[in-house]
Structure 1
């Protein structure tokens, strides 16, 4: 298709909700999608929500975990860094980014987080800085409802750069124990009737021997969820953001078609990094021109090419890895990024009213979203406001020019394609939706109004 293409990540969206109810119907781990799991356990929805987000961000948080070789950086933005390394460990980059095979390391393991609402999925996200020669690995371990534990699953090998001194950013395939597995960046329960009742996260900070720089981890968190299977979600009336539209730049992914096909076949698949770049710039952050000096000077909006390159997942072979996009956003000064789910369009309105736009993941047939002009098995776009009638104002990168990016989508259609977990494809086959997945980017020091809005959806 000419707009958001059906990629391996797109197909993952269709597999996760199905896997949650019957493992036999799940797609194999080689099939990934732009959207996936669902809400979980109660922080922003009270007892009726299945969405929970937990994070570690403060000096007290870092001191409360188990560190081996780490130190806590106090100050404006407390973080974890390598102190005296715990030792060295092997890692051979399967994607040929570096020939270094042993790395100094330090680890930090979070306290076990019990869930108010047992979960079928977990998506971790993180914010970090990785100077040259440094990188990090994020892992998760779930406790099942029978008290046993999953393996430690790798949810990302990540670095902000891609030079010859660090491994390539990558997800890891072929992880599982017969009860759960990992699809790109989502830990998903595949055994019918089983749930995750608690979890731990582990971050490993690494650097090449002889390098004195250290990664710094500022935020580590995870969204857990168990959204019910549903083809339809209840309609909502216009809320508090009716008539509010935020100033967000408009960038088209389609103008980049054919450019840099080594990054997910070029701009036709760049909905996620294009959306990310729009929201990053809405907060006044821009890459330095020297950062994208590698881009052909004849290309418009070179910062979009830059975003695609630095969100690219070499295993998934795409730019749509959700946590990698959030981590990319957080490489900009004093900006944070998280991946979570929202329960209703009213949650999105509360954020927009506070000045926080969001990036949403959805799948739909062309006739299900009037004015889009395309159908997709997985696509990211930005929600930047609401009309006075409550319809959604979206900057949709699947447009043929920057001038056409701003769209108005009917409220009822948009909320259903975004929040549902089940849908029919063009052949009438049951697939799944993302159940409200979104990225939220916001300042390291949000205003009081923004803090309240974030807290209302479980983000601190």
Structure 2
């Protein structure tokens, strides 16, 4: 998302306008509830399908589960062939497809919002559709909502969110399912995912999906959050990249670098874990441009419907295209959670909105901005790689603990016009190895991610 003062295109935790229902129809699969995970702080519930037994437990139509070091699903025998007209190119093509539908997951936190994440490989000639359905607290069901049409490349389809999806009670806002009127008491009490794997007809190509998950949350409306006591101090050595030095570059991707906070932050953490694009992958970038991998990240996180690089799950999915990395979108409950992760060597990308006067030293205000938390000072202040900086050298910042915690965790705020608008309520991206260390797994579990 951009640090500019334009109105946010993601309107979460705000009263939504009812729009025409456009949930994608699809075959329902019989399933049994899965065991819910513990929700940190009682506000967030994460469920991921990653193991061979997880994939075997789903309902398969043309897919099969893979065992081995990194279990997943692939196309076995396609369930059929269908035409897809890409709304961004107007190109119609035939695709073979197969589906996998998760078991029903009973949310430990009856949710006002749900965000899906996925990690996959989609070679040329393949792509994925990710859908969500659920049951409300009154026993009725949502339609199947499309949470993303995604490919790691852009040669076959344009990766895209889908607008105008609502049943008059809930709406999908780009990448987030949200109950329209949380004050009514209506909640989503269970959900499941359906993955559709597409490939060019007559080939043996296939996407491979290693991880699929949902994050349900019920974060209360709040302008302020309780302060936490500083805990562990320390700083991780994370590469520093500025989005601002890319201003004007490749304007077809959300007007260029000034809006590239999300992919720039993603690239920092991808490289922290020792991964980066190859010279061949970067060959399309103008050789005169500094940090070409940031341009690459912008291109391959770009959502053609949202018209930006700030689609949260698309960034996590991009990170997971690098060898043996996982990416998830979740919500954390406090800076103590971030301290736990940093102590285990896991940096995090946080999403926040604020006025210029609300974050000392930032020098700007924003309707939505991503930055990378890399550590904490001895006094508990936040050390962040903030891509909204004039140079790579200037990216490292130290922000006041109390100010940072509040702007990140609140769900309501006042904008520059004095209007009440939404905050993200602790949204962050976590990228970590597919084969994490015991210490890393313990830290992730402590914040509800497995």
TM-score (norm 2): 0.94
Cα distance in 1 for residues equivalent to 2:63 and 2:192? 17
1:193 to partner: Cα distance? 2.5
Work out whether 1:231 is the aligned partner of 2:223. Answer: yes
Q: What secondary structure sits across from 1:320 in the alignment?
A: coil
Unaligned runs of 5+ in 1: 30-40
Q: What secondary structure sits across from 1:306 in the alignment?
A: helix
> Where does residue 5 of structure 1 map in the other structure?
4
Q: What secondary structure sits across from 1:402 in the alignment?
A: coil
CA contact (8 A) 2:175 2:311 kept: yes
Q: Could you give the per-residue CA deviations for residues 171-203 of structure 1, whole angstroms, max 9, x where no partner exists? A: 000111101110101011114321100001010
> Where does residue 273 of structure 2 map in the other structure?
283
Counting only pairs closer than 5 Å after superposition, residues 140-179 of structure 1 correspond to structure 2 as 140-163=132-155, 166-179=156-169
> For this pair of structures, how many residues does the alignment match?
434
Q: What secondary structure sits across from 1:305 in the alignment?
A: helix
1:425 pairs with one of 415, 423, 435 = 415
1:27 to partner: Cα distance? 11
> Where does residue 206 of structure 1 map in the other structure?
198
> Where does residue 293 of structure 2 map in the other structure?
303
CA contact (8 A) 2:113 2:217 kept: yes
1:57 pairs with one of 50, 55, 65 = 50
Q: What secondary structure sits across from 1:140 in the alignment?
A: strand
1:72 to partner: Cα distance? 1.1
Q: Could you give the per-residue CA deviations for residues 108-148 of structure 1, whole angstroms, max 9, x where no partner exists? A: 00000011221000000100000110000000001001111
> Where does residue 91 of structure 1 map in the other structure?
84
> Where does residue 32 of structure 1 map in the other structure?
none
Cα distance in 2 for residues equivalent to 1:298 and 1:211? 39
CA contact (8 A) 1:44 1:455 kept: no
Q: Indicate the RMSD between aligned Cα atoms, in angstroms.
A: 1.7
- The 3 A distance-change label for structure 1 pair 42 and 238 is farther
Cα distance in 2 for residues equivalent to 1:27 and 1:280? 38
Work out whether 1:118 is the aligned partner of 2:110. Answer: yes
Q: What secondary structure sits across from 1:132 in the alignment?
A: coil
Q: What secondary structure sits across from 1:289 in the alignment?
A: coil
> Where does residue 27 of structure 2 map in the other structure?
none
1:268 to partner: Cα distance? 0.4
1:208 to partner: Cα distance? 1.3
1:28 to partner: Cα distance? 11
Counting only pairs closer than 5 Å after superposition, residues 194-273 of structure 1 correspond to structure 2 as 194-240=186-232, 242=233, 244-273=234-263
CA contact (8 A) 2:5 2:365 kept: no
Q: What secondary structure sits across from 2:301 in the alignment?
A: coil
Q: What secondary structure sits across from 2:12 in the alignment?
A: helix
Q: Could you give the per-residue CA deviations for residues 144-170 of structure 1, whole angstroms, max 9, x where no partner exists? A: 01111100000000000111xx11100
Cα distance in 1 for residues equivalent to 2:196 and 2:267? 28
1:127 pairs with one of 109, 119, 132 = 119
> Which piece of structure 1 moves more, 190-199 or 376-385?
190-199
- The 3 A distance-change label for structure 1 pair 237 and 312 is same
1:220 to partner: Cα distance? 0.1
> Where does residue 12 of structure 2 map in the other structure?
16
1:101 to partner: Cα distance? 2.3
2:338 pairs with one of 328, 348, 359 = 348
> Where does residue 29 of structure 2 map in the other structure?
none
1:11 to partner: Cα distance? 3.5
> Where does residue 33 of structure 1 map in the other structure?
none
> Where does residue 38 of structure 2 map in the other structure?
43
Q: What secondary structure sits across from 1:319 in the alignment?
A: coil
1:428 to partner: Cα distance? 0.9
Cα distance in 2 for residues equivalent to 1:105 and 1:413? 48
TM-score (norm 1): 0.92
Work out whether 1:376 is the aligned partner of 2:366. Answer: yes
